Amino acid sequence: MSARTHFSRDYAEARGKFLDRARSLRARVASYGNDRARGPAGEALSTDTAWLGPDDASRVLVTVSATHGAEGFCGAGVQSGSLDPAFAGELPADTALLAIHAINPYGFAWVQRVTEENVDLNRNFVTHEQALPRNDGYVELAEALCPAEWSEVARRRARDRLAEYGRRHGAALLQQAITGGQYTHADGIFYGGAAPTWARRTALRIAREHLASARKIAIIDYHTGLGPYGHGEKIIVHPPASAGLARARDWYGDAITSTALGTSKSADVVGDLLGGLEAALPGTEFTGMALEFGVRPFDETIDAVRADNWLHHHGALDSAQGRAIKAQMRATFYGDADDWKASIFEQAMDAQRRALAGLAG
């Protein structure tokens, strides 16, 4: 089957495809409805899971899509393609696959990175009762990043301001300021939230309900937006010198990158989903990876995220500008072309097979 057939035009189609394929394989399906919001066509929103393999498997490969909603086209396509009799037949003894489809269904449906709370789920797994991480660079740039106007003039002024910060502090600190996460501007970008989101609570509930008796867990969280077109970066967020990082290197090879060691295209972030799930599953051997596929250059990606933030706070979705921004978001996070889909599917399946071999080893 061509890889293209695994991918979908929108959240609703992706959900239907995932559930159909899960049921045809007699996978154990569970749905977690999000009744706080609906999709743009009024469709119901839900995170769905499919469990393939023995109920009591002690080794589990977990895949996640749409942590950043708009990136779900990619991850959901991989997940639907993995719900295939041939891949099911490759599961070793005592091993299961748990596919978590659209952990942020609102963002996927609306083609936004964020959740219905305007929160970046990958910055939300912090302890909100404690002092939250500071991001002085973001505070300094907040107005330039999210101007109230999105005219040519306002955008040029903002771009100059960001470029000036980059000249003063360097590109890495500029990226850290923008994307590292912030807890001060609830209407801003890369906002970590003031409380656990529905998506975070749902992820932890899924972990409790499905992974409590697992001893070894490999998790691949699918992302898009950083790096060269079609290239999969294997991002490891385990700390330096940890067993998790060593295991990931052993399984996935030297091509892995590390946010903690500064070798990743991603900023070093706190409050990410992988860290949150690991903390919620103590006593398991947990090996996490974010597999991030490039689509568009970094500056264009950030520009799309800023435009989308403006649209949802100040603009009109049902306008020519609104539709153009939504098309820009989609093109930024989804390489909607056959070569891109074939390439990322092949890389993702290779990573999943390596994870299965690692779990068995």
Q: How far apart are CA 353 and CA 87, in angstroms?
A: 9
For 142-156, give one letter per residue: b (16+ CB within 10 A) or e: bebbbbeebeeeebe
**Sign of the torsion angle spanned by Cα atoms 69, 329, 192, 149:** negative
Helices (H), 180-218: 198-211
* Per rule CB under 5 A, count of chain residues that contact Zn ion: 3
Interface of this chain with Zn ion, residues 242 to 271, rule: CB under 5 A? none
Site string for Zn ion, 203-242 (x = CB under 5 A): --------------------x-------------------
Q: Judged by CB, which is closer to Zn ion: 259, or 284?
A: 259
Q: How far apart are CA 329 and CA 12, in angstroms?
A: 18
Binding range to Zn ion, per CB under 5 A, among 69-77, 98-106, 123-131, 263-271: 69-77
Of residues 47, 68, 13, the one with CA closest to residue 333: 68
**Does 296 contact Zn ion by CB under 5 A?**
no
Binding range to Zn ion, per CB under 5 A, among 71-79, 90-98, 129-137, 160-168: 71-79
**Does 15 contact Zn ion by CB under 5 A?**
no
Q: Judged by CB, which is closer to Zn ion: 71, or 308?
A: 71
**Does 123 contact Zn ion by CB under 5 A?**
no
Q: Are 192 and 124 in contact (CB under 8 A)?
A: yes
Q: Judged by CB, which is closer to Zn ion: 190, or 198?
A: 190
- Closest approach of Zn ion to the CB of residue 350, in Å: 20
DSSP tag of 236: E
At a CB cut-off of 8 Å and minimum separation 6, what does 287 contact? Answer: 216, 217, 218, 219, 238, 244, 247, 248, 251, 355, 358
Binding range to Zn ion, per CB under 5 A, among 62-70, 76-84, 130-138, 183-191: 62-70
**Does 68 contact Zn ion by CB under 5 A?**
yes
Contacts with Zn ion by CB under 5 A lie at 68, 71, 223
